[in-house]
Amino acid sequence: MVEKVILLENISLLDFLGADNRNINILTNAFPQSKIIARGDEIRIRGTAMEILKINEIINLLVEHYHEYGKISPENVESYLNTNSTEERAANELRDDIIIYGTKGAVVKAKTANQQAMVDAVKFNDIVFALGPAGTGKTYMAVALAVRALKNKEVKKIIITRPAVEAGENLGFLPGDLKEKIDPYLRPIYDALDDMVPSEKLKFYQENRIIEIAPLAYMRGRTLQNAFILLDEAQNTTPSQIKMFLTRMGPDSKVIVTGDTTQIDLARNQRSGLLDAVDILKDIKGISFVKLDASDVVRHRLVRHIIKAYEQAGR
Q: Which CATH architecture has domain 102-312?
A: 3-Layer(aba) Sandwich (3.40)
What DSSP state is assigned to residue 26?
Answer: H
CA distance 15 to 41: 12
CA distance 87 to 83: 10
How are the residues of the chain apportioned to helix, strand and coil, as percentages rounded to the nearest 5? Answer: 45, 15, 35
Are 2-95 and 102-312 in the same CATH fold? no
Mean pLDDT: which of 172-176, 207-211, 302-306 is highest? Answer: 207-211
What local confidence, expressed as pLDDT, does residue 277 receive? 94
Residue 101, H or E segment: strand 100-101
Q: Using alpha carbons, select from 174, 241, 178, 239 the residue that is nearest to residue 214.
A: 178
Between 79 and 206, name the one with better pLDDT. Answer: 206
From residue 219, how far is each of 30, 133, 212 by CA, in Å? Answer: 52, 26, 11
Q: Using alpha carbons, select from 289, 191, 283 the residue that is nearest to residue 234.
A: 289
Domain boundaries, the chain: 2-95, 102-312
Tens-digit pLDDT profile for residues 107-116: 788 888 889 8
Mean pLDDT of the chain: 82
Residue 163 has pLDDT above 70, yes or no: yes
162 forms beta bridges with 215
Residue 287, H or E segment: strand 287-291
Residue 255 has pLDDT above 90, yes or no: yes
Q: What backbone phi and psi angles, to 5 degrees, belong to 85?
A: -165, 165
Q: In terms of pTM, does the model score above 0.85? A: no
CATH 3.60.110.10 is the classification of domain 2-95: no
176 φ/ψ sector (left φ>0, alpha ψ -120 to 50, else beta): left
CA distance 127 to 246: 9
CA distance 119 to 141: 8
CA distance 147 to 140: 11
Residue 170 has pLDDT above 50, yes or no: no
Between 96 and 202, name the one with better pLDDT. Answer: 202
Residue 276 has pLDDT above 60, yes or no: yes
Q: What mean pLDDT do residues 34-61 have?
A: 85
Tens-digit pLDDT profile for residues 134-150: 888 899 999 999 999 99
